[in-house]
Structures are given as structure tokens and as C-alpha cells.
A and B are shown apart, each in its own frame.
Chain A
Amino acid sequence: MKKKYFKKSIAAIILLVLIASIMLTGCESSSTGADDSWDKVKEKGEFVLGLDESFPPMGFKDENGEIVGFDIDTAKEVFLRLGVELKIQPINWDAKEQELNTGNIDCIWNGFTINDKRKESVLFTKPYLNNRQVLVVKEDSKYNTIEDLEGKKLGLQAESSAEDALSANEEFKSKLKEVVLFDDNMLAIMDLEKGGIDVLLIDEVVIRYYMQTKGTSFKIFEKELSHEEYGIGFRKNDKKLMGKVQETLEAMAKDGKLAEISIKWFENDITTVGK
């Protein structure tokens, strides 16, 4: 009896592993036919935007529970012009590629940094905003340059472009006393405020938004650690759909609507579409 049960469990585990590996390899969109990505959306009359709604100022939930942000305002305008209803779908950031590839969302539009690794699995629009990974310290801090930070504690958000930026700067990273990972940008900022870390590596847009809403002042180092661009991510084969959105963004840049939205959120036009 024992042996039988043992054999059955082994068979079951093998089966599970098979299923898991099939899932992990993920089915490539094998449509060899024409690109009907835009047609499908137009027909459905609905476009689903996927975001992690806890990333102010790009996309987040406001005090009334509405999802707002720079990316949201831009998207709303784009799809108003395209005559398609915009559906905003919160997702878990770790699962963004899954959600996109399984068709549960049609794009990732959430302060999504363009990088080569992501380009392998996602189709990006041209960049629409510049963002920098900057070093931030308390206003009264005596640190001013990168050299001042040797032997100090640095904090950043796990799995973020900040982490990537730091890894790209091996020399600087190796001179730090400690790198502290946080689940959230918010937690990292709070730790800087109370002195748990000496310096914070974070998106410039996030820290500037924080300073604007909270009225707190930080010192931001002039020289950024890395420079990145935000883009909108689509399924690899959805070229037509991406093209439509790109077109509309360029039109918005031309007629000044895009600049208007940027000023609302950042006080300046920091968009890079068509520039």
C-alpha cells in the first residue's frame, strides 16, 4: 500500500512539473496572419491599460479612490481622440508581462522604463518622458558629491530601475557600506527622513512629486546615476496598435496638449515626444 502511494505521488509531481514548464515557456503569440491588433481594439471599442496603482505621480489612487496621474491623463486624452473607451486595470507589477501576454491588459503604461532586457519581451513606443535615477540626501546633509558617499548606507526600491542603475555602477556600489532594499519607494523615503539610510537612489519624478505634495525639501545631487526614458509597453506583435498610440501622442505633442498635462503634474513640460 505504501509503495503504491509513493509511486502515485511521484507520477503526480512529474505531471505538475510538466504543466509548470509548459506554462513557464509561455506560448509565443503565433499568429502568422496580418496584424489586426488595432482592428480588434477598435471593434471591441475598449482598450485596457495595466498599471500598479501605487506609483505617484505616474499612476496612483487619489484620496477619493480614483486612479489618476500623468500617465492616466495622457492615456485618457489619447483614447478620447481614438474614439475607444479606456479601461484602467490595476495589476501586480511582478506580473505585468504575464498580464500583457495573456491579453488581460493591452499595454503597460506606468512610468515604465525602457531597457534592453524589457525590449526582448515587450514592444515599446518611442520615449515620452525622461527620468533620471538621482541621489537624494536630507536638505541639511553635508554630502554633496558621489565621493562623499563612500562608506555610507544607500537605500532603494527592490526590483526597480534604481536597483538596475546601481548595479551598472559597480565601482560606486562597492564603496558603499550597505545597500538597503525596500518594498516601496515610500518606505525608502521615510527611512531617509528618519536617518536610517544616508542616501536614497530614486526616480527623479517620484522625489520631485513627493517634495511638491509634502512640502519637504531634500537635496538632489546634480549628477544623476543613470538616465532613463519612459515608454509604453505593448505585446510584441501589436505593431499597428502601438503605432496608433504613438501617432496620437505625436499629435498631442504638436498641438500642445501633452505639454499642458506635463505642466499640471511637473510644473514644466518635461516630455520628449517629437523632440
Chain B
Amino acid sequence: MLENIDNILQDLFRLFRLLGIGALTSLKIFFLTLIFSMPLGLAVAFGRMSKNKLINSIVRFFILVMRGTPLILQIMFIYYAPSFMLPEGMKINIDRFVAAIIAFSLNYSAYFAEIYRGGIESISQGQYEAAAVLGFTKVQTFFKIIVPQVIKRILPSISNEVITLVKDTALVTTLGISELYRAAKNEAARVFSTVPLFVAGLFYLFMNSIVTKIFDKIEKKLSYYR
């Protein structure tokens, strides 16, 4: 009886270890995507709000494509496109992981851009005017007056995207990258059991509960005013 429990524990430990390694890759994708897409999203938001008709149309098209096509297709497109579009001699193969990060960053930047824009446009004109007559420069106004207010407003929407990102990391399996989902699928195939998939679900849940907690904390910190 004890031997059985010992075996089960050993198996469980091994499972957690395997899934843990996969989860680390998922986290790598998660953090790299956030690091690139959040600032890029701001640039895209400005492009979208630009009065220049050329910039505006290009950016609107970009946002349309990024939000309007499945991320999984975008990942494949970025990975395979160079091989197909460049002439035979110029074969440049992008590294799988790099292709994935590029696709994720572009895709999420479009979503963040629209969230930022919604937040920025919801700030009343009066705030800009009051800052202007007090002598603040446009840059000062944006970072000291507008951004703090925008952050508070867009926090719930941002948390949506971040939580979705944690789960979207599974899509890189399409390039054969071994992250949490793929590790679970492989283990499930090896032991002919669905337990690894279930445990993977728990891993995702755990990661997202940390994300949720962090956003709750930030929201609380910003609740000093209404």
C-alpha cells in the first residue's frame, strides 16, 4: 500500500517537473510578448489617433488584420512567409521561437492599442485645457495628467488581455515549440491518460490566479480617488 503511494507520488513529481519545464517556456513567451507589445501598442494607438490620413489608414489596416485573423494563422504566416516569399537562393529561416514572439507581439499590440485609445479618448478635453493654461507642455500633460487617469480606466481591459495571453501561449504548439500544453499532450500520449492535461489546466489556473491577484492589488492602489 505504501509502495503504491510512493509510486504515485513519484509519478506525480515527475509529471509536475515535466509540466513545470513546459510552463517555463510558456512564461518566457508571456513576458517577452508583454515587454514588446505593450510599448508597441502605444505607438500603434498614436498612429490610429493621428490626423495624418496616410498613417491613419495604414495603422487601421494593421489593427484590422491583427484583430481580424486568428493568432494561430499569424504565427504560421510569420514562420513560413519568408521561405515562400523570398527567391530560392535567399532562404532565410526564422527561428521558431523568434517567429512566435514576433507574431504574438504584433497581434497583442493591436489589442493593446485599441484599449489605450479607448482610455485616452475617454479623458475629457477639459483636462488637456486645464493643463495647457497652467503651462504644462504636451509631453508633461500626457505623462503626468493623462496617463495616470488612463491607467486606472483601462486596468480591467488590460487584465483581460493579459489573462488571455497566458492561455494563448499554448498556440505555439503549432510550431512544435514545447510549452506547457504540448508537454501535457505528449505526456498524456505516453501514459495513455488524460491526467497530465488536467494538471496542465491547474497550472494555467495557478498562473492566472497570480495575474488576477496582481491586477486586484493595482486596482486597489488606484482606488484612492474616483
Contacts and interface: CB of A to CB of B under 8 A. Distances in A.
A/B: CB atoms within 8 Å of each other: yes
A27 interface: yes
Interface in A123-161: none
A54 B76 contact: no
A23 B186 contact: no
Nearest to A20: B77
B194 interface: yes
Given A95-B76, A102-B83, A30 B88 contact: yes
Interface stretch (B132-140, B175-183, B209-217): B175-183
Interface string B102-137: 000000000000000000000000000000000000
A186 B188 CA distance: 7
A34 interface: no
Interface in A51-96: 53-56, 60-65, 89-92, 94-95
Question: Chain B CB within 10 Å — which of A23, A31, A190 has the most?
Answer: A23
A210 B192 CA distance: 8
Nearest to A92: B174
Contact of A63 (B14, B96, B194): B14
A104 B18 CA distance: 26
B9 interface: no
Contacts of A162: none
A104 B93 contact: yes
A189 B178 contact: no
Interface in A1-54: 5, 8-9, 12, 16, 22-23, 26-27, 29-31, 50, 53-54
Contacts of B76: 95, 98
A214 interface: yes
Contacts of B189: 54-56, 60, 184-186
Interface in B18-45: 18, 21
B5 interface: no
A104 B96 CA distance: 9
Interface residues on B, range: 35 or more
A65 to B, nearest CB: 5
Given A8-B57, A104-B93, A186 B178 contact: no
A184 B61 CA distance: 39
A138 to B, nearest CB: 15
Contacts of A53: 178, 186
B192 A190 contact: yes
Given A22-B84, A92-B173, A104-B93, A60 B64 contact: no
B2 interface: no
Contacts of A184: 185, 188-189
Given A31-B88, A92-B174, A214 B192 contact: yes
B190 interface: yes
Contacts of A30: 88
Contact of B185 (A22, A27, A54, A103): A54
A98 B194 contact: no
A65 B20 CA distance: 11
Interface of B: 14, 18, 21, 57, 60-61, 64-65, 76-77, 80-81, 83-85, 88, 91, 93, 96, 173-178, 182-183, 185-190, 192-194
Given A91-B175, A103-B91, 11 more contacts: A12-B64, A23-B80, A27-B88, A61-B18, A63-B18, A64-B14, A91-B176, A92-B174, A104-B93, A184-B185, A186-B194
26 contacts: A22-B84, A22-B85, A23-B77, A23-B84, A27-B84, A31-B88, A53-B178, A53-B186, A54-B185, A55-B189, A60-B189, A63-B190, A65-B21, A90-B176, A90-B178, A92-B176, A94-B174, A95-B174, A95-B175, A101-B83, A102-B83, A103-B91, A104-B93, A104-B96, A184-B185, A186-B192
5 smallest CB-CB distances across A and B, nearest first, come from A54-B189, A102-B83, A91-B176, A90-B176, A61-B186
Interface of A: 5, 8-9, 12, 16, 22-23, 26-27, 29-31, 50, 53-56, 60-65, 89-92, 94-95, 98-99, 101-104, 184-187, 189-190, 210, 213-214
